[in-house]
A and B are shown apart, each in its own frame.
Chain A
Amino acid sequence: MPTNRYPYLTEKIQESISNPDKSKALYNAMKRGRDSRQERLSELRGGLAFRQEVKERKNLCRKHADELTAEFIKNAKKRGAHVFEAKDGEEVLQYVLKVAQEKNAKTVSKSKSLTTEEIEINEPMQEAGLRVVETDLGELIIQLVDEKPYHLVFPSVHKTAVEVSEIFEKETGEKVPTDIKLIMNVVRKYLRPIFLNTDIGMTGANVGIAETGGIVIETNEGNARLVSSIGNTHICVMGREKIVETVDDALLMVMAHPVSATGQMPTTYVTWLHGRSPMGKGENQPRESHIIILDNGRTEMAQDSTMQEALNCIRCGACMNICPTYGVVGGHTFGHIYPGPVGIPWTASVHGQDLAADFAPLCISCGLCKEICPADINLPMMIAEVKHRDHSTNPAPKAEQTMMKADEFASLGSALAPLSNWGLKNPLVRGVMDSVMGVDKRRKLPSFNRNTLSKRFGRHAKKNVGNSKEKILFFGDIYAQYNRPDLGMTAIQLLESLGCEVELGEPMSSGYPYIAYGDLDKARVTAKKVVDALHPWVEKGYTVVSTEPTAVYTIHKSYPYLLENTEKSVAVSNKTREFFNLLTKLKYTTDLGQWKDKTFGFHCSCHQRPLGSGNEVMDWMKSLGLNVTRLETGTCCGMGGTFGMKSGSLGYDLSQAVGKPLFDIFKESKVDAIITESSVCGIQLAEGVGIPAYHPLELVQSILNG
């Protein structure tokens, strides 16, 4: 483990936080990406259905990668292309240098290729005497200052117009204005002779097509059209995972990629390159096409049952656009060469586990990257696996260890209440908790209740036993059990009043912190324990219900994955639902009295998004006459479960920086209160906005309690 891993991240996080202008620019850029995607999706035929189609086709192509690669090579060769399979970057370099030498080439113009970034080919090519020029504007900017891409799609998004003008002033020796349009004129003039006089044009490929032996290149600037047409020699370096079976598959990727990246459909230029065309009239033209298919760890990656799905990545960068912490720290901190969430499994697979583990702690396990991914890649679990592998040699930091034992601390806190609650408010105790346990002393923590949900439930008289319209097993998570048992009981009694028979299982944590901090062994043990406890109820016809979105998400989404889709885990998953989903089904209505005079802002927690985005609770509140509006940035509130409770930069500080834009939206809205079903989001927002945050059940509770 690099000994400075956490100090490095701390320093970088503080650097980002202390530069709000840069963070704001990055935030706006990422938000624009998310919003444009959302806007385009609303017009798209079939909406989000394409994600499953991309996933299925990419899975199929991955399973048949060897056959499809062979077919691609056969068909590309039939068209006269020279095809070379390179096992690593060094082999690519040697091949390219050999071609360059044979052609007596001096200049290589490149269009954007992350695959050549991956193998860092530019520098050794330059050392060998070639002039190598990146022609994608973003890539050119970072090439001129010797940096790595900040974002997959927008490599230089961190540079301002002023900085870019200075970069080109230095490069051209001429005065360059700071007006963006005028900078473009300089760039066009600078690059045009390079395009016209290039010997070798080098591109990547967004897609390779087995059935035709062709490649597809997508750009907005049109540089790949020039790079692939002018130089007499064209060299394409393509990762072997890019090969799909058919033209239809390729078109699917051509649509899915820009829709997810920027909301475009398609990119301005899509070039379906097949064979090497002549240029103008003339016999015996020295026109050649070389296609290098790169492995560089991909075959091994395909054998790794956790990471193999990352090979389905179509490099749209959407996971970066939505990642809450990436949006603050950017791709140089949150990445090695491949940035962002998908950069973690890719770095682990092609650059090394240690490098990936260096920035993996920036992932707060909100799960949004999976939800936005056009190939529905289970990135959160891959990232958890990278953390897990890391912890086999480097124990988790103390704050993470504390958070993974949150259930034990809550149980103890409840048993010791009210003494524990005095401690939570005592600065000295909090100081000790901060330094010894890694719980940030600035974070307001929920108080414990000695009179737990189990105790309360045991004392109350069950209703509708043997005569119910719905049998419910209430999943009493840690918060319901030890912090807000009153709310748990309200939920239970409300269901009983609607004719349900309600049982309360053994109180238990869903174990999500184990996933978040990468203890997958314990996550699996917990998953099995919970599934074993719930399954007999499900068998007897009970529906599992929880008031906490993360609990439902974990049981519904994470357990089947962790337990490899065992029959039991799938059965329990299928019968687990959110409290308000059930309440809507039961058509519950009531008069919410004075609450109708208030205004509310609704916050959907990240784990609630794949469960239905809180639409049911919103509809329910509106149907009861509440004045409620959904307020969101499109990403996380920053809490990230227990992440924002951890002390310091890699916890509280970063969670506040992520949350600030959402706090501002709530403040500007002037709503009276926040509504959210997530207990931890409620803590974060109440603190950040300075107004009360309620679980929607609390409104009902206040009416029921008069």
Chain B
Amino acid sequence: MFEHFKEVYEGLRGHAHHAASWEEAANIVMQVVADISPDKTVLGPLPESLMSDLKTKLDGANSAYLEPPYLFEELPGRIDEAEVGVSWVDHAIVDSGTLLEIATNDSDRLISTLPRVHIGIVTRDRVIEHLMDSASIVKEAVMRNDQNCVVSFLSGPSRTGDIEMQLTLGVHGPEVAHAIIVDEEAPAHAH
């Protein structure tokens, strides 16, 4: 499953990683952060153990980060300051190389859109095989959140072919997209 996802996701110019545990996932994030040395990393809502682990490691590396909650008054500028965005995504779809993000707050969407690098983290139990089987997930999410809900399919980095049909990455959204699939169970409070 992971190998197939990786093949499709990398075909879309994304970077796919497998992590055996939350700790390993945090290490992968730290590796990306170390390679880039961003001024700031912005963290979205993450499973508790991953969040605390990540914060400890970022502190240890003396790497600045922003963590929720984000205040309406300081958005979107605050998230735009960060070069790396790390966020939890609810599902992944293998045959389309897609991360499926369910957001009831637009700050979550900004974390996966504004920074130049985005890292999406999903648990293995939330990975489905086929894009065409994702309708029930979308429907369930938007019906459960009967006021507002935005489901986003994110399939690799932002791309355009608008100049001479030449593929170019990162025109608006992330130029670099990482997906980490963790062999853990999704936390109960997750969407």
A508 interface residue, CB < 8 Å from B?
no
A106 interface residue, CB < 8 Å from B?
no
CB <8 Å contact, A268 and B156 = yes
CB <8 Å contact, A79 and B71 = no
Output the least CB separation between A161 and chain B (Å). 5
A141, A220, A273, A282 — most chain B CB neighbours (10 Å): A220
Stretch from B20-28, B75-83, B178-186 that touches the partner: B75-83
**A–B complex contacts, Cβ < 8 Å, 29 sampled:** A28-B165, A29-B164, A80-B147, A135-B172, A141-B163, A180-B168, A184-B168, A188-B170, A196-B80, A212-B142, A222-B113, A225-B152, A225-B173, A228-B150, A230-B110, A246-B135, A247-B138, A247-B139, A251-B131, A266-B155, A267-B155, A275-B148, A277-B103, A277-B105, A277-B148, A279-B75, A280-B72, A280-B105, A282-B73
Contact residues, A273-289 vs B (CB, 8 A): 273-282, 285
Contact residues, B124-142 vs A (CB, 8 A): 130-132, 134-135, 138-139, 142
A138-B162, A180-B164, A274-B145 known, 20 other contacts, Cβ within 8 Å: A141-B163, A155-B162, A156-B162, A180-B163, A184-B171, A212-B142, A222-B158, A223-B172, A229-B110, A246-B135, A254-B153, A265-B96, A266-B96, A277-B103, A277-B109, A278-B106, A278-B148, A279-B76, A279-B105, A281-B70
A183 interface residue, CB < 8 Å from B?
yes
CB <8 Å contact, B164 and A226 = no
Encode contact with B along A237-276: 1 for CB under 8 Å, 0 otherwise: 0000000001110110011000000100111111111111
CB <8 Å contact, B152 and A270 = yes
User: Are A274 and B148 CB-contacts (below 8 A) given A187-B171, A266-B131?
Assistant: yes
B104 interface residue, CB < 8 Å from A?
yes
* B131 CB contacts on chain A under 8 angstroms: 251, 255, 265-266
* B103 CB contacts on chain A under 8 angstroms: 277
CB <8 Å contact, A281 and B69 = yes
CB <8 Å contact, B173 and A192 = no
Encode contact with A along B32-70: 1 for CB under 8 Å, 0 otherwise: 000000000000000000000000000000000000011
A221 interface residue, CB < 8 Å from B?
yes
* A228 CB contacts on chain B under 8 angstroms: 150
CB <8 Å contact, B138 and A181 = no
B87 interface residue, CB < 8 Å from A?
no
B15 interface residue, CB < 8 Å from A?
no
* A266 CB contacts on chain B under 8 angstroms: 96, 98, 131, 153, 155
A621 interface residue, CB < 8 Å from B?
no
Output the least CB separation between B45 and chain A (Å). 12
Q: How large is the interface on A (under 10, 10 to 19, 20 to 34, 35 or more residues)?
A: 35 or more
What residues of chain B have their CB less than 8 Å away from a CB belonging to chain A?
12, 69-77, 80, 96, 98, 103-107, 109-110, 113-114, 130-132, 134-135, 138-139, 142-143, 145-166, 168, 170-174
Q: Which of A78, A164, A211, A272 contacts B146 (CB 8 A)?
A: A78
* B152 CB contacts on chain A under 8 angstroms: 225, 269-272
Output the least CB separation between A503 and chain B (Å). 50
Bound Cα distance A187, B170 (Å): 10
Contact residues, A142-173 vs B (CB, 8 A): 154-157, 159-161, 164
Bound Cα distance A279, B103 (Å): 11
* B72 CB contacts on chain A under 8 angstroms: 278-282, 285
Bound Cα distance A273, B145 (Å): 12
A25 interface residue, CB < 8 Å from B?
yes
* B106 CB contacts on chain A under 8 angstroms: 229-230, 277-280
* A276 CB contacts on chain B under 8 angstroms: 148
Q: Which of B73, B110, B151, B154 contacts A272 (CB 8 A)?
A: B151
Bound Cα distance A229, B173 (Å): 13
Bound Cα distance A154, B135 (Å): 28
CB <8 Å contact, B171 and A188 = yes
Output the least CB separation between B141 and chain A (Å). 8
* B147 CB contacts on chain A under 8 angstroms: 79-80, 275
Q: Which of B69, B75, B77, B172 contacts A188 (CB 8 A)?
A: B172
CB <8 Å contact, A281 and B71 = yes
Q: Which of A78, A183, A191, A277 contacts B172 (CB 8 A)?
A: A191
Q: Which of A196, A268, A270 contacts B77 (CB 8 A)?
A: A196
* B151 CB contacts on chain A under 8 angstroms: 271-272, 274
Bound Cα distance A180, B107 (Å): 31
Bound Cα distance A226, B113 (Å): 7
CB <8 Å contact, B107 and A221 = no
A32 interface residue, CB < 8 Å from B?
yes
A214 interface residue, CB < 8 Å from B?
yes
A579 interface residue, CB < 8 Å from B?
no
* A80 CB contacts on chain B under 8 angstroms: 147-148
Output the least CB separation between B93 and chain A (Å). 9
Bound Cα distance A275, B152 (Å): 14
6 residue pairs, one from A and one from B, having the closest CB atoms: A222-B173, A282-B72, A275-B148, A270-B153, A138-B162, A272-B151
Which residue of B has the minimal Cβ distance to A80? B147
CB <8 Å contact, B76 and A230 = yes
B12, B75, B77, B143 — most chain A CB neighbours (10 Å): B75
CB <8 Å contact, A273 and B160 = no
B76, B134, B154 — most chain A CB neighbours (10 Å): B76
Q: Which of B12, B149, B154, B164 contacts A277 (CB 8 A)?
A: B149
CB <8 Å contact, A280 and B163 = no
CB <8 Å contact, B172 and A226 = yes
User: Are A220 and B160 CB-contacts (below 8 A) given A78-B146, A251-B134, A279-B72?
Assistant: yes
CB <8 Å contact, B160 and A184 = yes
Output the least CB separation between B157 and chain A (Å). 7
A448 interface residue, CB < 8 Å from B?
no
CB <8 Å contact, B135 and A251 = yes
Bound Cα distance A161, B168 (Å): 12
Q: Which of A159, A211, A254, A268 contacts B159 (CB 8 A)?
A: A268
Bound Cα distance A254, B135 (Å): 11
Which residue of B has the minimal Cβ distance to A282? B72
* B80 CB contacts on chain A under 8 angstroms: 192, 196
Bound Cα distance A251, B138 (Å): 9
A587 interface residue, CB < 8 Å from B?
no
* A180 CB contacts on chain B under 8 angstroms: 163-164, 166, 168
Which residue of B has the minimal Cβ distance to A270? B153
A45 interface residue, CB < 8 Å from B?
yes
Output the least CB separation between A362 and chain B (Å). 23
Which residue of B has the minimal Cβ distance to A198? B76
* A373 CB contacts on chain B under 8 angstroms: none
CB <8 Å contact, B158 and A137 = no
